[in-house]
């Protein structure tokens, strides 16, 4: 009877302690989903971009979830930029609509590259980053899924970090007769939120958003130079890189479970170790 009472009390305490936390964790995505998303509706900013830049400095900014289009020529380098925050795993997809087959004399190889805010080329975790289109093909599809963006990394590592990312799309190995043919492109970036499983103990002071340092008028000896950002876009909820992640919630739940298990185990062993009462005179 005593053991049953201890188990019942422990189960009740466990349920009363963990249930509110679990409800809070499960309700958080629902609240987030109900909030409006700027990147989900391209019409919010007047429509998706219809052109691409020709260098890192002139890269066209796009939001995640937007489908940008651009016209160009074979041999051109086309550039776009987008923001990515810690815990996200971006996937870049591009479609190139090729010139008419009668104007091409050979197959074409197209490639998509992604660079971070320090202009370090990021490796694709998976996806068809380079593809060769046959001479009679009408289009070619490319994709690149990056590694999960980390809130912090060692200085010698090449891990993707929060900030601006650049997309470069171009054809490689073209002959002289293939240069200058008109093409149209479509580019879209989506991200999967990985969450606390990718959290690290650290964060950047600022996201890697490239800027141009300009000399400002110094009114005193403590005045510093100003910086003009090359990229003005950021995630819908702002840059959230920091110490907090849902990993802390599950760590707290694990600690509570361990404490309750210890209390229950102590109560069970204490009850089982009691000496049996001996009736006097028996």
Q: Among 33-47, 52-66, 160-174, 262-276, whose mean pLDDT is lowest? A: 33-47
**Strand ranges inside the chain, DSSP E:** 60-61, 67-73, 78-84, 88-97, 108-115, 121-122, 124-126, 130-133, 139-146, 163-172, 182-193, 211-214, 226-229
pTM of the model: 0.68
250-275 average pLDDT score: 78
User: Does the structure show a pLDDT above 60 at 217?
Assistant: no
**Cα–Cα nearest to 159, from 200, 128, 126, 193:** 200
Kindly report, residue by residue over 92-142, the tens digit of the pLDDT.
Answer: 999 999 988 888 888 899 999 999 999 999 999 999 999 999 989 999 999
What integer pLDDT is reported at residue 116 of this predicted model?
93
The pLDDT confidence band at residue 40, using thresholds 50, 70 and 90, is very low
Burial 128-150 (b: 16+ CB within 10 A, else e): ebebebeeeeeebebbbbbbbbb
pLDDT band per the 50, 70, 90 thresholds, residue 198: low
pLDDT digits (tens, 9 = 90+) for 255-266: 888 888 888 888
């Amino acid at each position: 009877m005593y053991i049953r009472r201890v188990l019942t009390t422990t189960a009740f305490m466990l349920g009363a302690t963990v249930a509110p936390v679990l409800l809070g964790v499960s309700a958080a995505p629902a609240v987030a989903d109900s909030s409006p998303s700027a990147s989900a509706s391209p019409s919010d900013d007047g429509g998706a971009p219809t052109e691409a830049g020709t260098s890192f400095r002139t890269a066209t900014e796009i939001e995640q979830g937007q489908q940008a289009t651009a016209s160009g020529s074979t041999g051109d380098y086309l550039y776009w930029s987008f923001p990515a925050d810690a815990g996200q795993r971006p996937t870049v997809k591009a479609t190139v609509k090729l010139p008419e087959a009668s104007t091409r004399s050979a197959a074409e190889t197209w490639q998509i590259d992604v660079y971070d805010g320090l202009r370090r080329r990021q490796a694709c975790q998976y996806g068809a980053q380079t593809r060769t289109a046959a001479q009679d093909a009408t289009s070619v599809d490319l994709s690149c899924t990056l590694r999960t963006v980390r809130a912090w990394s060692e200085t010698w590592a090449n891990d993707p970090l929060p900030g601006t990312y650049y997309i470069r799309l171009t054809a490689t190995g073209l002959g002289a007769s293939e240069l200058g043919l008109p093409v149209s492109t479509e580019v879209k970036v989506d991200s999967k939120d990985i969450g606390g499983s990718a959290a690290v103990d650290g964060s950047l002071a600022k996201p890697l958003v490239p800027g141009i340092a300009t000399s400002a008028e110094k009114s005193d000896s403590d005045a510093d130079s100003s910086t003009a950002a090359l990229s003005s876009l950021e995630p819908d909820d702002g840059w959230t890189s920091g110490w907090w992640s849902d990993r802390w919630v599950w760590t707290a739940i694990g600690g509570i479970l361990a404490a309750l298990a210890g209390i229950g185990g102590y109560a069970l062993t204490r009850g089982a170790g009691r000496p049996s009462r001996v009736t006097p005179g028996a």
